[in-house]
Amino acid sequence: MAAADLPEGTLQNVLEQDSLKWVFVGGKGGVGKTTCSSILSILLSRVRSSVLIISTDPAHNLSDAFQQKFTKTPTLVNGFTNLYAMEVDPTVEHEDMGTDGMDNLFSELANAIPGIDEAMSFAEMLKLVQTMDYSVIVFDTAPTGHTLRLLQFPSTLEKGLAKVMSLKNKFGGLMSQRMQFWESSRGMKDVIEQVNRQFKDPDLTTFVCVCIPEFLSLYETERLVQELTKFEIDTHNIIINQVLYDEEGSESKLLKARMRMQQKYLDQFYMLYDDFNITKLPLLPEEVTGVEALKAFSCHFLTPYQPSTSESTVEALEQRVSTLRQQLKDTEAQLEKLRKGKQKV
């Protein structure tokens, strides 16, 4: 069945699921994850007592989306009383370590375990978040590869601790003097494992995939959905962003060609994910930045976008005839100019 024949989906189901505690928004780089997660957090703030949106992407765009500077501590978003935002640095800073040779050795040991810096940073952030009483937390995640690593952090921490504990057993007293960092990570591991159990509960957690109607994005979305299924994380919403619609008066051959290409991939999305809520968002001529622009665009998350294709009324036809006449007049003028140029030569 073609995409055009299927009912349009919305994200109303996310707002209506009162039990949700964690909402992840992710996908390929450059598809509009930050805009979608920002708008979703605005919509959730209308139905929840308090909302926190966290950016875990190393290239933070949350500050740009809201046009307000955010840091690693939750900050109230301008114009809201219950929406907070924070940007998390993916690299851990070992503030409890000094600068002497032995401290540097342990810092190097910590960073030698693949992914341990991100795992520790993520654990620290979750530890902080758990002490706060937010109704729902929205994650604006990094591109797909980083997000999949994020889901593997509990096992990364476990392996890292096992390696360092084996070193402690070998070197005894020498190691025990510098184990504060790793002892504190034990508590982090407990926190992240507890949160990981919540991530696997569909009543508490869902993952919203964001993509665009192109081959690479379709491929990346399929990979992401497969991995989420493997990690037992619920996902039943897909946002297809930057969709071109056949607007009234559009005569561009390039646009028509792009629309045909997009339609091919839209049909594939609907065929592959027939049991998902698929929300289509239009490509706009301008960027969606700032609270007012985000609020204005949020209506398309709850009501399917309707392109401005008016009925064949007398006024519409007269307007189109007038446009075509003007185009014909301009073309004839150009032709006459060319003819005169040739006569001079």
- Residue 87 assigned ligand-binding role: no
The answer to whether the CB of 31 falls within 8 A of the CB of 37 is: no
Kindly list the catalytic residues.
57
- Residue 340 assigned ligand-binding role: no
- Residue 34 assigned ligand-binding role: yes
- Residue 309 assigned ligand-binding role: no
- Residue 35 assigned ligand-binding role: yes
- Residue 160 assigned ligand-binding role: no
- Residue 31 assigned ligand-binding role: yes
CB-based burial, 273-296: b 16+ in 10 Å, e otherwise = beebbbbbbbeeeeebbbbebbee
- Residue 237 assigned ligand-binding role: no
The answer to whether the CB of 31 falls within 8 A of the CB of 114 is: no
Helices (H), 273-313: 291-297, 299-302
Supply φ then ψ for residue 281, to 5 degrees. -120, 140
- Residue 214 assigned ligand-binding role: yes
Give the β-pairing of 75-76 and 83-87: antiparallel
DSSP letters for 95-128: TT--SSHHHHHHHHHHHTSTTHHHHHHHHHHHHH
Q: Which two tokens stand for residue 39?
A: 């708008």
Distance in angstroms (rounded) separating the CA atoms of residues 125 and 192: 10
Closest C-alpha to 139, from 15, 57, 24, 14: 24
Report DSSP state, residue 4. G
Distance in angstroms (rounded) separating the CA atoms of residues 130 and 144: 25
Q: Which two tokens stand for residue 271?
A: 């065929």
Distance in angstroms (rounded) separating the CA atoms of residues 118 and 157: 10
- Residue 9 assigned ligand-binding role: no
Please say whether the dihedral angle defined by the alpha carbons of residues 269, 271, 272 and 274, taken in this order, is positive or negative: positive
Distance in angstroms (rounded) separating the CA atoms of residues 312 and 318: 10
> Residues annotated as binding site?
28-35, 214, 241
Residues annotated as binding site for ATP?
28-35, 214, 241
